[in-house]
């Protein structure tokens, strides 16, 4: 049995990564293997991994309404630690996470 992987594009950095449907968006993002990807509680309670899904579908587990309101969720916001891809998708990191990942664009980072 082959496991399907989806292509995930990060609009802030023009990076792409693959993510399985049983893997959170944050878990897949961490496989990029670089600094700047903020990881907090991994349980949907801290809000550091907030992203906006610009296209594609996700399946989400429970998220704290302190960090993603019902209105924001309707606009495509999710916590990457609680969202699983259901198709190829494009996302954009929300301001708190964006500051962390974009800061490393200006710094050279080694490629394995």
pLDDT per position as a tens digit, 52-68: 999 999 999 988 899 99
Mapping DSSP to helix (H, G, I), strand (E, B) and coil, where does residue 3 land?
coil
Provide the domain count of the chain.
1
Distance, in Å, from the CA atom of 31 to the CA atom of 1, rounded to the nearest integer, reads: 23
Residue numbers of the domain that contains 41: 6-103
Q: Band of the pLDDT at 28, cuts 50, 70, 90?
A: very high
1 is a domain residue: no
44 is a domain residue: yes
36 is a domain residue: yes
- CATH code assigned at 47: 3.10.20.30
pTM here is 0.83
Furthest-apart CA atoms within the chain: distance in Å: 41
Query: What are phi and psi for residue 67, nearest 5 degrees?
Result: -110, -25
108 is a domain residue: no
Residue with tokens 């903020």: 38
111 is a domain residue: no
Q: Looking at per-residue confidence, does 38 or 82 come out higher?
A: 82
């Amino acid at each position: 049995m082959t496991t399907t992987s989806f292509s995930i594009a990060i609009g802030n950095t023009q990076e792409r990564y693959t993510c399985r449907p049983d893997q959170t968006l944050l878990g897949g993002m961490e496989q990029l293997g670089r600094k700047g990807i903020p990881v907090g509680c991994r349980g949907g309670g801290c809000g550091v991994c907030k992203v906006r899904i610009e296209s594609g579908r996700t399946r989400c587990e429970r998220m704290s309404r302190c960090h993603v309101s019902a209105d924001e969720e309707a606009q495509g916001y999710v916590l990457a630690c609680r969202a699983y891809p259901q198709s190829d998708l494009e996302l954009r990191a929300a301001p708190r996470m964006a500051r962390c990942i974009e800061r490393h664009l200006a710094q050279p980072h080694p490629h394995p």
